[in-house]
Structure 1
Amino acid sequence: MGGVVVVGGGPAGRALARECAALGLRTTLVDRDPGRPWRATYAAWADELPAGAPVSVVASRARVVGTREHRLARAYAVLDNERLRELPDGVEVVAGRVVARTASGVRLADGRVVSGRVVRATGAVGGRAAQTAVGVVVPAAAARPFVGPDEALIMDWRRPPARTTEDPTFLYAIPLGADRVLLEETSLARRPGLPLPELRLRLRARLAAHGVAVPDGDEERVHIPLDVPPAAGAFGAAAGFVHPATGYSVATSLRRAPGVARALAEGRPVGRSVPERVVHGLRLRGLTALLAMRPDEVPQFFDNFFLLAENDQRAYLGDHGDLRGTTRAMLRLFGVSRWPMRARMVFPVQTAKFVGTPG
């Protein structure tokens, strides 16, 4: 069998490298700094993860707050970063920066050449719209005003007590185990992304209103490009796996890694199917509509979405190749929306969250 060079050592790149090595492919993982710590928290709906995914914590129930509360009958899982990082002995890890692709591999900045079929897994870079967030970890007891035991708060769109713009943001609260909870102020989508200082101000205001002290130490900072064109021959976020309406991509990468590894082993092209490309285009259309909504319309939009049947919610949030399910969910969401919001969906003009706001 031939060799594979995976460029990028994040969750997607490592997942693909593991699967390639399991098939007996000579596998090299190239990363600028393979030992750097992962500060991001990766999570997903538990039923979207493949069997054997490295789960750290599972909350058996989830909740969303728009202008009303929605209780969801889906478990939510937080992934174990240390196990996500693990690689078998069959993967050679090379620290270096790729400066060029060659006919047979890649050339690094120090002149070394690594041979094999190249797959880029370096993440999404660029784009105009982004999801941004700032979070802190607090003891579970301190998080009780926001989230209960064995629960994940996916979105709480109630306005924070302090803010300097009208851009909508929500609180995201998930258990991390060991009596810890991540509380994160999140801007779901904005063009450009909402600046981190604004998110930090809002998060601190939310916590202060409930007497929760902001802990000393590291904060989690998130910036996820949402509308980057997929790169040919790529994998993970670089290949368009980021869901434009949620920012999620890791669960898809974990599910897709075995199939992509088999394609590489068999010498087949690595890329998205026609249904996947169409679904991604529809979801980008949904992102455009979301960006066009007035700030006060966004919580109502998610009220409408989470009133849909659970199979419609799953179709839109999950499988990137489910064209029929995605189309059905979008049509039903249009059907339950009021006419002003329908107009935003059909004729998404320049976003109100872009005009006249700093950042």
Structure 2
Amino acid sequence: MRETLVVVWWDRLVVGVVVVGGGPAGWALARACARRGHAVTLVAPGHRWHATYGVWADEARLLPPGSRWVTTRVRGGGRVLPREYAVLDNDSVLAACASPGIEVVRARATAMTAGSATLTTGEVRHGMVFDATGARRGEVEQTAYGVIVPEPREAVFMDWRQPTDGPATFLYAIPLPDGRMLLEETSLAREPGLGFDELRDRLHARLGEVTGPVERVRFPVDVPPPPRRARGPIRFGAAAGLVHPATGFSVADAFRLAPVVADTIGRGQRAVRRVIWPWRARLVYQLRMRGLATLLSLTATEHEEFFDLFFALPVRHQRAYLSGRTDVLGTVAAMTALFRAAPAHLRRKMIAS
């Protein structure tokens, strides 16, 4: 058992931190806290990232030195996108996050409070506990079924041409850092999420019988921010609702936010919760939920039309909506520009959402 650790080091408050969760968000936060002198314990059952993670190439600078990724131009909405896309080399990013100041405990947490975590191996008590174990169950899910193949193909962010009748899905085809290619049939947002068997059948209808290692994806895209006066462990990453409802991305925001959180820890839990979800981010979240409601109302044909219009917007609008988590004015401007460009039948759905 470990006692609560709070040490005054000259003019800086050094706090013991427990981060539960060994994904990108957990490691980003653990690294940032260790670099600021906090005593960090990271709790995770394993030491590998098996999912495929991507960020926009202009956000890759947020990753720690030593990280590697493969950058490519991708097609979306019938056009080549102005922003390049980066797929992370998981092992290099994980190695870059490691620090002598991080004690790694191979275990799972069975219970967490604001200041302690009960593990399968015992109990850890520290000054502050963070829950970075991933997104909680929501009503609207993104699901995907992918196959990794050895041969290169055209990189595609979203190909909304439908392989068969049925719910709207798109092809996500990206190069991996090891030279292989991930071909994934994705249901962007559905309540409940589309099943893997149907996604597999749609992928094969689109591309023929493709074989190779399989990747399955399922997570909610409508996890709300924690209440302003939340208690218990501080949620971070996807567990805190950082998942973008229009893409499913959260990794870049976790790496962007981790140093800010680490700098705030000495001011207490309330300050940390506020810095993760400032009022601007909460307002942008509400605007993005309006966008999600519009997506849920679209037919399969309208999905292709909608995203073709979005990816035709100036890059400043695309960047604001997809990456501007606290950019209220930029998000409003992007949504307004899309509304103006949309035909009447799409405008009606945007208004009704």
Q: Normalized against structure 1, the TM-score is what?
A: 0.86
* 1:273-292 matched pairs, under 5 angstroms: 273-292=278-297
Q: Secondary structure at the match of 2:166?
A: coil
Looking at structure 1, the residues matched to 222 and 148 of structure 2 have their Cα atoms a distance apart, in angstroms, of 29
Partner of 2:6: none
Looking at structure 1, the residues matched to 306 and 122 of structure 2 have their Cα atoms a distance apart, in angstroms, of 52
Q: How many residues align?
A: 326
The code of the aligned residue for 1:98 comes to A
Q: Check 1:71–1:28 CA distance in 2 against 1; reply closer, same or farther (3 A cut).
A: same
Deviation by residue 1:195-225 (Cα, 9 ceiling, x = unmatched): 11011011122221xxxx5224x20111121
Q: Which runs of 5+ in 1 are unaligned?
A: 349-359
* 1:68-107 matched pairs, under 5 angstroms: 69-86=78-95, 87-102=98-113, 104-107=115-118
Q: Check 1:104–1:129 CA distance in 2 against 1; reply closer, same or farther (3 A cut).
A: closer
Looking at structure 2, the residues matched to 306 and 219 of structure 1 have their Cα atoms a distance apart, in angstroms, of 29
Partner of 1:34: 46
* 1:109-124 matched pairs, under 5 angstroms: 109-124=120-135
Q: 2:219 aligns with which of 224, 231, 242?
A: 224
Partner of 2:342: 337
The code of the aligned residue for 1:225 comes to P
The answer (yes or no) to whether the contact 2:62–2:252 under 8 Å persists in 1 is: no
The code of the aligned residue for 1:315 comes to A
Q: Which runs of 5+ in 2 are unaligned?
A: 1-13
Q: 2:303 aligns with which of 298, 306, 326?
A: 298
Looking at structure 2, the residues matched to 101 and 130 of structure 1 have their Cα atoms a distance apart, in angstroms, of 25
Looking at structure 1, the residues matched to 49 and 111 of structure 2 have their Cα atoms a distance apart, in angstroms, of 26
* 1:1-359 matched pairs, under 5 angstroms: 1-31=14-44, 33-35=45-47, 37-53=48-64, 54-59=67-72, 61-65=73-77, 69-86=78-95, 87-102=98-113, 104-141=115-152, 143=153, 147=154, 152-160=155-163, 163=164, 166-208=166-208, 214-216=210-212, 218-231=213-226, 232=230, 233-267=234-268, 268-270=271-273, 271-348=276-353
Partner of 2:4: none
Looking at structure 2, the residues matched to 119 and 304 of structure 1 have their Cα atoms a distance apart, in angstroms, of 39
With 193-202 and 98-107 compared, the bigger mean Cα shift is at 98-107
| % identity of equivalent residues | 49
1:301 Cα deviation (Å)? Answer: 0.5
The answer (yes or no) to whether the contact 1:14–1:84 under 8 Å persists in 2 is: no
Q: Normalized against structure 2, the TM-score is what?
A: 0.87
Instruction: Tell me the C-alpha RMSD between the 2 structures.
Output: 1.7
Looking at structure 1, the residues matched to 297 and 174 of structure 2 have their Cα atoms a distance apart, in angstroms, of 29
The code of the aligned residue for 1:55 comes to R
Deviation by residue 1:280-323 (Cα, 9 ceiling, x = unmatched): 11101110111011222111111111111110111001120000
Q: Check 1:121–1:346 CA distance in 2 against 1; reply closer, same or farther (3 A cut).
A: same
Partner of 2:9: none
The code of the aligned residue for 2:160 comes to W
